[in-house]
Every structure is written in C-alpha cells, then in structure tokens.
A and B are shown apart, each in its own frame.
Chain A
C-alpha cells in the first residue's frame, strides 16, 4: 500500500484533536503549552504534506513551516517566562488558582 495524501492529513487531524483535548482539559499551564505545541506540529505536518504531494517542485510550504517553528519558539519562550512569573507570585501553576481578578 502506497501512502496517499489523505493518510498524512488524517494523522494530523487526529494529532490536532488530541491537542485540542489537552488544551481544554489540562489544569496545568505547562500542560496547556505542551498541547499547543502538539497542535502546531499537526499544522506543520499538513503544510509539509501538501507541499510534497501537490507542489513537489516548490518549497513554499517548507518555508512556512520554518516560520511556524520560529513563532512557536517565541511563543514558548514568552509563555514559559510568564509561567515562572506567575509561579513566583501565587506559588502555583494550576489555572483555577489564577483568580486574583475575581473581585
């Protein structure tokens, strides 16, 4: 059986669903960040697969993947420094403890 485009797209859809479940169900901010990384990777698999199967002589999809990876790195750095600042202030990394705006 040779691999077709929709096999890769279905794999990335499953990965994206797992990432959505993680974002919605995690209590821990670090767990939410890790699930967001999973969703980024699902999108990257999509871009690479479309590039490989539909436009095999161009590399625009791979260029976009490089940009997505760079943005993911920036997002992870800012997010993790925010996590450390939050942990210094309220001594917890769980989202339900973050209720200091709750009047």
Chain B
C-alpha cells in the first residue's frame, strides 16, 4: 500500500508522521510505504511571520529542515508535483519522475495573491512571506506617524490575523512612543469587525477604547498611492497600508483543473476529494467553508491519519473530521485569548489573559514537536 503525501507544510507533515507511527509495523514488513513530495527542504512555521512583521521574532526561528521533522521511515523528496493523473493513480514530478500511489493526500496549502488587487503589491505592506514580513518591519521602523489603515482580502489564511496585526501594531507604536501620532483605521469585508460574531463583539469595544476607527463591508478593489478603494465604492486614505491579501490555492492545483481558485472540492467529514475515494485533501487546499488555519490542518491530519491507517489495516475508515478549529487570538498588551469551535459548536472566547499569551508564546516554540506528531 503506497501512500503519497503531496505537500510538506503543517497538514502534510503531521499527517505523514501520524501515518508513519500508526503503520510502523506494516512499513517495517514492507506492506506499506509513505512518500512525501514537497517543493522545499525547509519547513516554515507560518504563524511566526506575524511576529517577524513587528520585530517580535527573528526569521531564523521560522525554519527547520523538513527531513528533521519526519519519521525516518518516510521517503521524503524535494521534487514537487507538476501533473496529477488521478484516473491512473499517479503524479509526475518536476524532475520528470512518475510516482504511482494507492492513496493520495493533497496538502499543498494556499498563498497570498496580491496580484488579485491592482496596486496592492506596490503600495501596501503584507506579512504572509518572509520577505514581505521583513519589508513590513523595515517600513514600520521608518514610520514616524500618520494614518495607518488595515485592510483584509477574501479568502485568506489565518482568520485571526487582521485583528492580531492591528493589536500588534498598537503595541509596536506604543513601544516606539509614537502612538499619539498614529490614526489607526481598521476595515473588514463583512458587516462586523470579524467573521466570528463573539470575537467581533469583543473586539469592537476594544477598538472604541483604543480610539481605533473601523469600517465594515469593505472589500479591497484597488490600491493607488495613498488610497485604498473598495468594491463598495468607499475608500480610505493612508500613510501606511497594512493588508491581509486575498489568497489562492497553489498554481499546480489550478493548472491540473482540480479546483477553482486552487481549492479542491472536499467532503467535509470524510475529507476525500469529491468523486475520488482514494484521494484525500487537507489544510488550506480544501474548498471547505471553514477557517484556513494551522489548527484546522492539524486536526484534519489527526482524523485522516487515523482513518487512512484504519483503511490500510482494516479496510474501513473509523472516524470523521468534526470541523474542529482552535485559534489563538493575540490581543496585544501581553494578553491573548482563543476561539475553539467545530461544525456543531460555536466559539465562546473568554477575555484575554497573560497566561494564554504565554501559552501561545511557548507554543510558537513547541510547534516543531507537534509537527513531528508528538503533541
């Protein structure tokens, strides 16, 4: 039984390690094999970019060698997939190798698509890649005061980032002693300041207390120097624009016609690709109407790991993904809270505490143990 995992990010890594542990006996005997194909030999802790953008983390802390995170029994190759031939259960890689599989797991993730908003890349800050996060920090260091606007594209990964970057910016300006020279204006695509209603109900009064103005139903259409214009015919002038760009799935998914926008139609509980019993999808790559978050990929990987192992060992799946998501929310001022929910239970976040901020701070360093499948 050959299980092929495409994508070495959070979801793919946790899934591959989970499977390698569960199927260690079969792998040793030679009746099962796990291969991972990835575009990079490095694994990046993406949530760390938010901290890099405001100078709270260094880029060296973001990376580990992918091989060091994987169970030794996993055959790992830096050779990304270019063609998917699902009808014939095979993929073709960049180096031209054809790899056949019995079970395919696609976890290629998503990426910021600044090109989707004319003028965004040239006129705004972003923090979804290392170079963008560093560039944003450099720009912040040179900023001496003025109008700062935060704007968010749809869809995007890390649902808490628009709020978190706002609270981190406030901390940053206060630390630099220029908060009194900053006029911070927050915009958001839907009719409240966050997609999660309890979170929005907590955040809006916090903004009021801090003197942060906000405009809802604001979807970026175009950015020109000094002004961001919305689809709703509104605009906001800025001296500094900080954005969460709209996202797309990976190019290879679009090129192979696997899903519009690079997001693959996926069964919400079984996590198989619609119409394909032996192809599974997890993480940002799915088209599921749930948060594109690291924790989503993590919990999906755990459910899938158990299920695929059961398929191999017993011929039947044993579990369904229940939609679980757990997102920390850094609220600035050394405090954090979290939102936890699944398909059936809405979130009920509590007031931020320093204990939870420390939990997140510790987790930022303990992520690697979870990538290895230990926690």
Do A and B actually bind? no
Q: Which residues of A contact B (CB under 8 A)?
A: none
B: residues with CB less than 8 A from A are none
